[in-house]
Amino acid sequence: MVDSIKKHLILLGAPGSGKGTQSAILCDKNGYGHISTGNLLRSEIAKGSELGLKVKSVMDSGNLVSDDLVVELLKANLDLATSSYIFDGYPRNLEQAKTLDGILSGTDSVALYFELDTELLVDRLTKRRVTKDGKYIYNLDTNPPKVDGVCDVTGQELIHRDDDKEEVIRSRMEVFESTISPVLDFYRSAGKLVAVNASAALDDVYKEIIEKINL
């Protein structure tokens, strides 16, 4: 779909704050392209590519993959001439925020910060189940699949990501907390930061996003 007038949406928030879930709804209802660097990296691992082999152990530990590797993957999957995008999981640090700013120069964008209490996040991630490609996301309490372990839409098996297990979640949270402040400052000083209450129910988060960005 060619739609150059829509703003690109840059989703910022801890793992489990609902970026992926809202991305799916926003794409479905508003025709965005979805760029999740986590999904792109996991797909490289699944393919067994050279890149996938390089990043697997870093991802398993909950740490960030190097900026250079991620930006190459990002650029290879973007077509800014034809689509408006949701960036989900990129940028993760100030360097990446500056890089993305350069990539998106000359286009309009807004950064949505998904605010949520850390304890809630651990609970959400331990109960999160996803399809292998990361496209469909469930929560065993708040948004369970109709049949245990099976995606309602595609019938694929649902998995509990290795890095959504409690040992790794804590280190992913630490990584998030130690890198997010300068990213928020960067977008705040550019007048592009919009905060969203991500502890609300799924539909309410969506409504708040739509209202705040005038979609």
Site residues (CB under 6 A) for ligand AMP?
15, 37-38, 41, 58-59, 62-65, 70, 89-90, 92, 96, 163, 172
CB of 211 to ligand AMP, least distance (A): 26
Name the phi and psi angles at 47, rounded to 5: -75, -20
Give the span between the Cα atoms of 33 and 87, in whole angstroms.
Answer: 9
How, if at all, do strands 137-139 and 109-115 pair? unpaired
How, if at all, do strands 137-139 and 128-130 pair? antiparallel
CB of 110 to ligand AMP, least distance (A): 18
**163 or 208: whose CB is closer to ligand AMP?**
163
SS3 at position 151: coil
Assigned token pair, 57: 């152990």
**147 or 196: whose CB is closer to ligand AMP?**
196
**72 or 108: whose CB is closer to ligand AMP?**
72
CB of 214 to ligand AMP, least distance (A): 27
Alpha helices in the chain (DSSP H): 19-30, 37-47, 50-61, 67-76, 94-103, 118-126, 166-189, 202-213
**34 or 172: whose CB is closer to ligand AMP?**
172
CB of 82 to ligand AMP, least distance (A): 23
Find tokens 């369970």 and name the residue. Answer: 144
